[in-house]
Structure 1
Amino acid sequence: MATVAKDFSIEEKLTAVLTLQKIDSKRDEIKTLKGELPMEVNDLEDEVEGLQTRVNNIDSEIASIGEYIESRKAAKKEAEALIKKYEKQQDNVKNSREFEAITKEMEMQELEMKLCDKHVKDAGVRMQETQHSKLQSQSLLEAKQEALAAKKEELDKIIKETEKEENELTKNSEKAKEKVEERLLTAYERIRASYRNGLAVVPVLRDSCGGCFNIIPPQRQAEIHQRKKIIVCEHCGRILVDNDLNESVKA
């Protein structure tokens, strides 16, 4: 919240808001230096997490297929054991009816063995496909992890180099806001939010607005130079200051 006394002169008000602009512009330079890196890091982190989940799910599927193959192999062994059992029983049958019944049971177990072999073969094919899918996902995951590590290293380096300055500028920005008239601060923040470059206060350079570069009429320039009222560009709405004041104010 601005706490400026209402009897400050226009020049003092302009100086205060221009100082704030200079500080915020330096903060913007640091953000520009970081560029899209923070967003890229976040996106890569999401991709890595998604790929890791995919690999984990594939591992679970591979384990499940392996268990199924083992169960089918065990079922085949059980069928083989039953066939041997029935073969011994055939030697002790008392009549043809018992012999036929045992023979049918043996045939059923032989079919079960063939079915188990088919299941094992089909599961083996699925296992190969799943393992191939894992290799592809794992390769993509490793590539994304390498890219993420590089982006993080680049971002961390920039943060390390600029953190102290950025923190100091943030503190200075808050202090500068306290010296700007409340209505002027509201207008400043509204205008600043309207433009990607964050410029709400600009000087008149070569007879033109320093924001939109439209020509400023001579009479208007004279009024700006007098610093007796706050004047905004009729084209872009930015607050205008004369270049002498702009040069004299430092962040």
Structure 2
Amino acid sequence: MLEQLPSLIALQQHDIAVDELSEKAKQFDPLIQKKTKALDALRADLKSAKDKLSGNTLKKKELEGEVESKQALVKKHQGELNSLKSNDAYKAMLGEIENAKNAVREAEDKILVVMEAIDAGDREYKEREKKFKTDEAALKAEIQKIEQEKAAAADLAAKRKQERDAYAATLPANVVSQYDAIRKKRGGLAIVPMVNNSCAGCHMQLPPHRVNEVKKAKVAVMCESCNRILYLPPEPTNAVPANNAGTAKDAAAPTGSAS
């Protein structure tokens, strides 16, 4: 595996890029859900106003039916008055007629109240409907934009995954399989540098013999703690060589005027 280490590091860079792009695509989902919930809330608000208006309209029809029924009862009882033979029956019938007339008046008063509620509800519904159409159009446009951004991110992740798979296909299958197994178990990082004699993956101090093995780079070295593959990172390119330290120091020092 040692000779494949540079290639595996490059493969891991592909995988990290794929993971980042895939995660970016997933981050759009909460935004879409938030906008969708806001749209659902607008629809529920409009439906509430419509249901209230429909309820009052139905109530008005019921009251109108009650008025018609009581008026018909009054007419019926008035027609029956002449057929009554006793004074008590006549008085009782007059009482029923009066009760029916009172019921008609009460129902008509309620109808007036309901009609006012219907007028107010109709105005409220039209106002909400107008606002809903504006807000709905804006939210739908926002959702569409976010979905397009999500699709673009997902497409980019898929393209990078294809590039990753094509690169992996150039490496020995058994090496890639071992790398994939470690990466899956270790949160996406199979290969990590040794930093200050410690594993950069689990941050455990390496025993001296492991440190020497990594530095010699004669065999692939695994961290005894997390089983990640270790490598020695290259020295920083901007490091100043020891034999030039004095020259660099002199070059950096300010030039003073002779006294």
Check whether TM > 0.5.
yes
In structure 2, the CA distance between the partners of 1:123 and 1:44, relative to structure 1 (3 Å rule), is: same
In structure 2, the CA distance between the partners of 1:217 and 1:145, relative to structure 1 (3 Å rule), is: farther
In structure 2, the CA distance between the partners of 1:101 and 1:164, relative to structure 1 (3 Å rule), is: closer
CA distance in 1, matches of 2:80, 2:228: 103
In the other structure, the counterpart of 1:29 is 20
Q: CA deviation at 1:48?
A: 3.1
- Residue 37 of structure 1 contacts residue 155 of structure 1 at CA under 8 Å; is this kept in 2? yes
In the other structure, the counterpart of 1:172 is 163
- Residue 34 of structure 1 contacts residue 155 of structure 1 at CA under 8 Å; is this kept in 2? no
- Residue 79 of structure 1 contacts residue 110 of structure 1 at CA under 8 Å; is this kept in 2? yes
Q: CA deviation at 1:191?
A: 0.6
CA distance in 2, matches of 1:163, 1:35: 9
1:189 counterpart letter in structure 2: K
Q: How does 1:1-251 map to 2 (within 5 A)?
A: 9-12=1-4, 14-34=5-25, 36-46=27-37, 48-49=39-40, 52=43, 55-56=46-47, 59-60=50-51, 62-84=53-75, 86-87=77-78, 90=81, 95-117=86-108, 120=111, 146-147=138-139, 149-157=141-149, 159-160=151-152, 162-175=153-166, 179=173, 180-192=175-187, 198-204=188-194, 209-211=199-201, 220-225=210-215, 226-232=217-223, 234=225, 238-244=228-234
- Residue 204 of structure 1 contacts residue 241 of structure 1 at CA under 8 Å; is this kept in 2? yes
CA distance in 2, matches of 1:186, 1:138: 58
Cα distance per residue 1:124-145 (max 9 Å; x no partner): 6986689969977996897577
Query: Which TM-score applies when normalising by structure 1?
Result: 0.64
Structure 2, unpaired ranges of 5+: 235-259
Aligned length: 229
In structure 2, the CA distance between the partners of 1:57 and 1:129, relative to structure 1 (3 Å rule), is: closer
2:71 counterpart letter in structure 1: E
In structure 2, the CA distance between the partners of 1:85 and 1:29, relative to structure 1 (3 Å rule), is: same
CA distance in 1, matches of 2:193, 2:143: 37
Structure 1, unpaired ranges of 5+: 1-8, 193-197, 245-251
CA distance in 1, matches of 2:137, 2:10: 43
Q: Which has the higher contact order (CA 8 A, sep 6+)?
A: 1
Q: SS where residue 161 of structure 2 aligns?
A: helix
Pair member with larger Rg: 2
Cα distance per residue 1:170-208 (max 9 Å; x no partner): 22334455534434421211112xxxxx43423345766
CA distance in 2, matches of 1:111, 1:237: 92
1:19 counterpart letter in structure 2: A
- Residue 21 of structure 2 contacts residue 154 of structure 2 at CA under 8 Å; is this kept in 1? no
In structure 2, the CA distance between the partners of 1:181 and 1:45, relative to structure 1 (3 Å rule), is: same
Cα distance per residue 1:208-238 (max 9 Å; x no partner): 654466766776444224050232374x654
CA distance in 2, matches of 1:68, 1:131: 18
CA distance in 2, matches of 1:215, 1:130: 75
Q: SS where residue 220 of structure 2 aligns?
A: coil
Q: CA deviation at 1:32?
A: 4.9
2:193 counterpart letter in structure 1: P
Q: CA deviation at 1:148?
A: 5.7
Q: SS where residue 199 of structure 1 aligns?
A: coil
Query: Which TM-score applies when normalising by structure 2?
Result: 0.62
Identity among equivalent positions (%) equals 16
